[in-house]
């Protein structure tokens, strides 16, 4: 089925804007670039390749197989390697390591394809801090024992700006034109956040902290998971449009969900989990031009010889002695098998029902609770950065947000390198927010159509963007992130999924219900510890 330009722009950018964009005769010219990402259709392979036989000579013995080279799988591998447990292999289906934290390289700067920052962890997150120390990102500890990260790795100011009605303003929350009532509500919202920042349960646990596993399970907090963040705001009497926008931006940005799709627990988690004490600023961000690509590439560098790229696990078969893993090398089309003692399952949880033999016929209830939403991410290679139209416009920041757009705007990769002139790479994010048929809608579009959506969207703020863009590459994340919608996080699904199934241990960040590097790392390390002898 083919759509007209107007239909596509309406579907992605909304009707009024699409109409004006189509009227303004902005040329829908072809821009160079391609759709990137796994060149194999994994779903297709898994459906086609049922009951494959491994040629007898293609079996090997290895103690542990890790399925998936995202942050979680890599963290597990890194931990095993660190503890001198060398008998493992890691299977990754793509030709790039890192999963949703992968990155790319250009001759200007490297750039992210997904995850792009990590807030400085609290001192209690010792395992993650050890990684940051090892990566030489840290300077030491302050008097209270909190981590001090080197200046050049902390997000450089200006961090955020927002485009609203033709002008750029500093920050993310829109202060310009705010009336007294809106000011009051914003302050009141901060108070609510402070309440939960300071909240402790009977055993002294925080309501919201990273990793999620350390959050309190007190009924008062868990009740928040039963309503949407939007309902929670309304129940508290909030009405300010700009406050709703701010919270909606937060949930779209972190979870790929709209305000009314997100659980209030997850919404508050976003605002509270990175604030040490009420009144303090949220933890600063650690970031790199390539985003979290820096982390996964570092982890990978430690275990490179044990990774097998372009390999898809086809079937995981629990046996008497352990687990058999059958995989396909998508380059050579060779089918191989691994006799293992244990397997670490670090692929998205919903794929378990296609991979684990026992689940294929009889999938456990909890698997279908793990729902993902679709995103697309584009990298725009610009020969020069767009100039501000008005002298008083706030200058280009790291994160550049368009108030009136359903996209999240773009992150400027040259920012953290201190490059302020000339060529740049902008990473554009668009969450499809658990729309019906989002995935089908996304995959129905070709490169030209996607590029047109992106350029039309950005042209609100940057009328010259088409002339400046030399190339656009687009990544379609069909299953980008787990959705922390209401009644998922604190149902029993996550607890159940975390338990090993026979000799299969699950590690994907999905298990936290919240897609964050810290969570992926936590589960990777946790599972490695489960497996390590002693």
Partner 1 sequence: MNKTPLLFLNVIIIATCGLIYELLAATVSSYVLGDSVTQFSLVIGIYLSAMGVGSWLSGFLDNNLAKRFVEIELAVAVVGGFSAPLLFLTFANVSYFNIILYAMVFVIGALVGLEIPLLMRILKDEIDFKNLVARVLALDYAGALVASLLFPIFLVPKLGLTRTSLIFGLLNAGVGLWGTWLLENLIKPRDTNILRVKGFIIAVLLIIAFIKADALTSLAEDALFVDNIIYAKSSSYQRIVVTKGKTGYSLFLNGNLQFNTFDEYRYHEALVHPAFAVHDGNPKRILVLGGGDGLAVREILKYPSVETVTLVDLDPEMTKVSKSVPVLGELNKHSLEDSRVSVINNDAFVWLDSAETEPFDVAIVDFPDPNNFALGKLYTTRFYNLLKKKLKPDSAVVIQTTSPLMARKSFWCIVKTLEASGFSVKPYNTTVPSFGVWGYALAKLQPFETPSKLPENVELKYLNEKTLSSMFEFSADTNLPNEEIEINRLDNQALVRYYESEWRRFE
Ligand X SMILES: Cc1cc2nc3c(=O)[nH]c(=O)nc-3n(C[C@H](O)[C@H](O)[C@H](O)COP(=O)(O)OP(=O)(O)OC[C@H]3O[C@@H](n4cnc5c(N)ncnc54)[C@H](O)[C@@H]3O)c2cc1C
CA atoms within 13 A on the CB side of 248: 19
> Which entry of ligand X, partner 1, none binds 211, CB below 5 to 8 A by partner kind?
none
The site partner of 73 among ligand X, partner 1, none (C-beta below 5 to 8 Å per kind) is ligand X
Instruction: Report, in Å, the least distance between residue 328 CB and ligand X.
Output: 9
Cis peptide before 211 (omega within 30 of 0): yes
Q: Does 64 bind ligand X (CB under 6 A)?
A: no
Query: How many DSSP H helices and E strands does the chain contain?
Result: 18, 23
CA dihedral 380, 476, 303, 533 (to 10 degrees): 140
Cis peptide before 418 (omega within 30 of 0): no
Burial of 391 (0-12, 13-18, 19+ CB in 10 A): exposed
Q: Does 419 bind partner 1 (CB under 8 A)?
A: yes
Select the residue interacting with ligand X from 63, 79, 116, 485 (CB under 6 A): 116
- CB–CB of 387/422 below 8 Å? no
- 463 binds partner 1, rule: CB under 8 A: no
Q: Does 520 bind ligand X (CB under 6 A)?
A: yes
User: Least distance from C-beta 477 to ligand X, angstroms?
Assistant: 5
377 binds, among partner 1, ligand X, none (CB under 5 to 8 A by kind): ligand X
DSSP per residue, 271-292: HHTTBSSTTSPBPPEEE-TTTT
Residue 437 tokens read as 């048929």
Q: What SS3 state is found at 307?
A: strand
CB neighbour class for 82 (10 Å; exposed up to 12, middle 13-18, buried from 19): middle
Of these partners, partner 1, ligand X, none, which one is at the site of residue 391 (CB under 5 to 8 Å by kind)? partner 1
The Cβ-side half-sphere exposure at 85, using a 13 Å CA radius, reads 20
Q: Which of 71, 109, 193, 224 binds ligand X (CB under 6 A)?
A: 71
Q: Shortest distance, CB of residue 150 to partner 1, whole angstroms?
A: 8
The answer to whether 284 contacts partner 1 (rule: CB under 8 A) is yes
Please give the backbone phi and psi of residue 7, each rounded to the nearest 5 degrees, phi first: -65, -45
Q: Which is nearer to partner 1, 205 or 417 (CB)?
A: 417
Give the shortest CB-157-to-partner 1 separation in angstroms.
4
SS3 call for 210: coil
- 3-state DSSP call for residue 173? coil
Minimum distance of partner 1 from residue 459's CB (angstroms) = 18
Residue 109 CA to residue 451 CA, distance in Å, equals 21
Q: Which of 157, 181, 331, 495 binds partner 1 (CB under 8 A)?
A: 157
Residue 120: name its binding partner from ligand X, partner 1, none (Cβ under 5 to 8 Å by kind): none
If one asks whether residue 417 binds partner 1 (CB under 8 A), the answer comes out as yes
Among 37, 73, 478, 513, binds ligand X (CB under 6 A): 73
Whole-Å CA distances, 247 to 210, 255, 268 = 20, 12, 9
Interface positions, 365-404, toward partner 1 (CB under 8 A)? 384, 387, 390-391, 395
User: If binding is defined by CB under 6 A, does position 374 make contact with ligand X?
Assistant: no
Among the listed residues 14, 158, 171, 318, the single contact to partner 1 using CB under 8 A: 158
Rounded Cα distance, 190 and 413, in Å: 30
Residue 515 contacts ligand X per CB under 6 A? yes
- Partner from ligand X, partner 1, none binding residue 420, C-beta < 5-8 Å depending on class: partner 1
Is 77 near ligand X (CB under 6 A)?
Answer: no
Any contact of residue 43 with partner 1 (CB under 8 A)? no
Q: Which does 422 bind (CB under 5 to 8 A by kind): partner 1, ligand X, none?
A: partner 1
Place of tokens 């998936």: 68
**Residues for the chain: how many in total?**
534
Tokens matching residue 11: 């579907």
Binding site for ligand X (CB under 6 A): 67-73, 91-94, 99-101, 114-118, 292, 312-313, 346-348, 351, 355, 375, 377, 429, 477, 480-481, 508-509, 515-517, 520
Q: Interface residues with partner 1 (CB under 8 A)?
A: 151-152, 154-158, 284, 384, 387, 390-391, 395, 417-422
């Amino acid at each position: 089925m083919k759509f007209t330009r107007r239909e596509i722009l309406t579907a992605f950018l909304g009707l009024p804007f699409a109409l004006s964009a189509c009227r303004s005769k902005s040329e829908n010219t072809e821009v160079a670039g391609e759709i990137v990402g796994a060149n194999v259709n994994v779903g297709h392979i898994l459906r086609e390749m049922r009951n494959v036989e491994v040629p007898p000579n293609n079996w090997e013995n290895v103690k542990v197989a890790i399925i998936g080279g995202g942050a979680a799988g890599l963290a597990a591998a890194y931990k095993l390697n660190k503890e001198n447990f060398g008998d493992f292999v890691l299977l990754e289906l793509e030709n790039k390591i890192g999963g949703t934290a992968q990155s790319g390289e250009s001759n200007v700067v490297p750039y992210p394809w997904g995850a792009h920052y990590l807030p400085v962890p609290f001192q209690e997150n010792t395992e993650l801090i050890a990684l940051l120390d090892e990566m030489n990102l840290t300077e030491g500890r302050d008097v209270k024992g909190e981590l001090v990260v080197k200046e050049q790795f902390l997000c450089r100011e200006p961090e955020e700006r927002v485009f609203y009605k033709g002008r750029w303003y500093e920050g993310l929350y829109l202060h310009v034109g705010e009336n007294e009532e809106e000011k009051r509500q914003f302050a009141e919202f901060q108070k609510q956040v402070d309440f939960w920042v300071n909240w402790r349960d009977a055993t002294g646990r925080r309501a919201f902290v990273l990793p999620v596993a350390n959050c309190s399970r007190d009924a008062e907090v868990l009740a928040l998971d039963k309503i949407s963040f939007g309902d929670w705001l309304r129940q508290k009497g909030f009405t300010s449009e700009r406050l709703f926008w701010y919270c909606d931006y937060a949930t779209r940005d972190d979870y790929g969900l709209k305000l009314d799709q997100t659980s209030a627990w997850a919404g508050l988690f976003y605002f509270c989990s990175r604030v040490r004490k009420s009144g303090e600023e949220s933890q600063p961000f650690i970031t790199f031009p390539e985003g979290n690509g820096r982390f996964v590439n570092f982890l990978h560098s430690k275990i490179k010889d044990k990774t097998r790229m372009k390999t898809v696990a086809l079937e995981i078969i629990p046996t008497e002695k352990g687990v058999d893993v059958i995989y396909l090398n998508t380059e050579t089309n060779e089918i191989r098998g691994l006799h293992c003692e244990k397997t670490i399952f670090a692929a998205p949880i919903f794929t378990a029902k296609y991979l684990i033999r026992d689940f294929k016929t009889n999938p456990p209830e909890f698997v279908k609770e793990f729902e993902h939403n679709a995103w697309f991410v584009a990298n725009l290679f610009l020969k020069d950065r767009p100039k501000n139209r008005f002298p008083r416009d706030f200058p280009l920041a790291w994160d550049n947000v368009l108030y009136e757009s359903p996209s999240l705007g773009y992150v400027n990769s040259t920012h953290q390198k201190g490059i302020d002139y000339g060529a740049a790479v902008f990473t554009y994010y668009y969450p499809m927010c658990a729309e019906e048929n989002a995935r089908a809608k996304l995959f129905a579009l070709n490169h030209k159509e996607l590029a047109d959506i992106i350029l039309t969207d950005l042209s609100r703020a940057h009328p010259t963007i088409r002339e400046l863009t030399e190339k656009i590459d687009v990544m379609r994340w069909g299953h980008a992130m787990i959705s922390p919608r209401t009644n998922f996080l604190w149902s029993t699904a996550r607890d159940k999924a975390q338990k090993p199934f026979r000799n299969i241990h699950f590690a994907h960040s999905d298990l936290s219900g919240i897609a964050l590097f810290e969570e992926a790392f936590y589960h990777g390390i946790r599972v490695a510890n489960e497996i390590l002898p002693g």
